């Protein structure tokens, strides 16, 4: 697995832990805090600090080296100095199950341009053909129509509802389970 890939409009990178990478990750999270927090659990104390972001990058990097999690940070080719999104393939279970879960976050300024789909298409291909997985799962809240549309465009199939799956904004929320089989 390489740590840097290209699509027609994006660079996708696994960021090494550094002060510069932590600043990029923090800037991305701060710019999109309101948009993301509608669909995510409460963040722990210190999350919106450079130090916390660096620790997360270290954790992600160590998991990538072990082929257990791959978080790619997306940069637009026309502005390669700023993170505009992230896609992640996590909870990778090999060899018996050959599966993982996925999630994605893109800068609100870049929504509805097909960039998340472009990044995910590459990420899915990497998981299936480089890592050798056969199943990728994704979860979306029912009201997150944009995420559901993206999953359906990526050929994920709805498999059911996971009741009270995750605590979002202090409430246990149902999530729809989608999966794509190689």
Instruction: Report if residue 54 sits inside a domain.
Output: yes
Residue with tokens 């997306």: 74
Instruction: Report if residue 158 sits inside a domain.
Output: no
Instruction: Report if residue 142 sits inside a domain.
Output: no
Instruction: Report if residue 109 sits inside a domain.
Output: yes
pLDDT over 90 for what percent of the chain? 93
Instruction: Report if residue 181 sits inside a domain.
Output: no
pLDDT by residue (tens digit) across 159-182? 999 999 999 988 999 999 999 999
Provide mean pLDDT across the span 135-140.
98
Q: What is the largest CA-CA distance in the chain?
A: 42
pLDDT by residue (tens digit) across 99-117? 999 999 999 999 999 999 9
> How many angstroms separate the CA atoms of 162 and 17, rounded?
34
Instruction: Report if residue 20 sits inside a domain.
Output: yes
* Three-state secondary structure string covering 39-64: CCCCCCCCCCCHHHHHHHHHHHHHHH
Provide mean pLDDT across the span 145-158.
97
Range of the domain at 42: 4-136
Kindly tell me if the per-residue pLDDT of 157 is higher than 90: yes
What's the total number of domains in the chain? 1
Q: What's 9's domain CATH number? A: 3.40.630.30
- What is residue 148's predicted lDDT score, i.e. its pLDDT? 97
Instruction: Report if residue 39 sits inside a domain.
Output: yes
- What is residue 95's predicted lDDT score, i.e. its pLDDT? 86
- What is residue 128's predicted lDDT score, i.e. its pLDDT? 98
pLDDT by residue (tens digit) across 37-56? 889 989 999 999 999 999 99
- What is residue 1's predicted lDDT score, i.e. its pLDDT? 84
pLDDT by residue (tens digit) across 58-89? 999 999 999 999 999 999 999 999 999 999 99
- E strand or H helix at 76: strand 70-76
Instruction: Report if residue 22 sits inside a domain.
Output: yes
Provide mean pLDDT across the span 108-133.
97
């Amino acid at each position: 697995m390489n740590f840097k890939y290209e699509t027609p409009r994006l660079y996708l990178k696994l960021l090494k832990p550094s002060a510069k990478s932590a600043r990029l990750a923090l800037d991305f999270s701060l710019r999109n805090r309101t948009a993301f927090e509608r669909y995510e659990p409460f963040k722990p104390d210190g999350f919106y600090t450079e130090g916390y972001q660096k620790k997360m990058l270290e954790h992600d990097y160590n998991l990538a080296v072990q082929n257990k999690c791959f978080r790619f940070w997306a940069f637009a080719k026309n502005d390669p100095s700023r993170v505009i999104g992230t896609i992640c393939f996590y909870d990778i279970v090999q060899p018996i199950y050959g599966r993982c879960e996925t999630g994605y976050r893109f800068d609100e300024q870049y929504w509805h341009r097909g960039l998340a789909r472009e990044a995910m298409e590459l990420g899915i291909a990497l998981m299936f053909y480089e890592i050798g997985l056969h199943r990728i799962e994704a979860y979306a809240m029912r009201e997150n129509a944009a995420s559901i549309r993206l999953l359906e465009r990526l050929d994920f199939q709805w498999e059911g509802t996971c009741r009270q799956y995750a605590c979002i904004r202090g409430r246990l929320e149902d999530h729809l389970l989608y999966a794509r089989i190689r």
